A and B are shown apart, each in its own frame.
Chain A
């Protein structure tokens, strides 16, 4: 158990809908990262927050957004969902931007 929690474990929704994925980092970690893992793309970095502020952005679509709250939990919002958004979404946390990242169990999103 990495200490990173993610909810829900599974999400099944329809195209065009909007969903919110939630992540709680390990105790003491200020940095939260979101990654997408699909069969054909592997693990792809989406976005990083550090102590409530956006720190780095990767291949994140404009339909996706994220935020980190004062209690350091983070949410990833996915809107106007398409079939191709079906994937595993992982949250990771670290003490700062330069230390190893610890991953949560993931949320499996299925868009029908």
Chain B
């Protein structure tokens, strides 16, 4: 069964303290892995798509990487405005839907 597990469930950082969020997946043929940011009560905001192992994408303080079994979202020198829930999702070959993980709730304190 296709599955996505994110860790940790919650992460508290001091402003400027870099860290990484993990997304491990089990899928029968990966078509793509997606990272989203979600603020409370809002819709998920698209961040990155990764298609193959070894691929990396960057956007401001965020960098996403992909291996054959997991993806990492690295946050460098985070700011309080980076506080949100970060969602990872996979799309399996032959399927159109996204399978989401439960998310990591990130809180960055000044």
Contacts and interface: CB of A to CB of B under 8 A. Distances in A.
A and B from one assembly?
yes
Interface of A: 2, 4, 31, 33, 42-45, 48, 55-56, 58, 88, 90, 92, 97-98, 100-106, 108
Contacts of B44: 43, 90, 103
Interface residues of B, number: 23
Task: Name the residue among B46, B96, B98 with the largest chain A CB count within 10 angstroms.
Answer: B96
Contacts of A58: 97
Contacts of B34: 100-101
Nearest to A106: B43
A100 B51 CA distance: 11
Nearest to B47: A100
Interface of B: 31-32, 34, 36, 41-46, 49, 87, 89, 91, 95-103
Contacts, number: 57
Given A98-B32, A100-B34, A45 B45 contact: no
A33 B45 contact: no
Given A42-B102, A100-B34, A106 B42 contact: yes
Given A42-B102, A42-B103, A98-B32, A2 B45 contact: yes
A108 B40 CA distance: 12
Nearest to A58: B97
Contacts of B32: 98, 100
B94 to A, nearest CB: 10
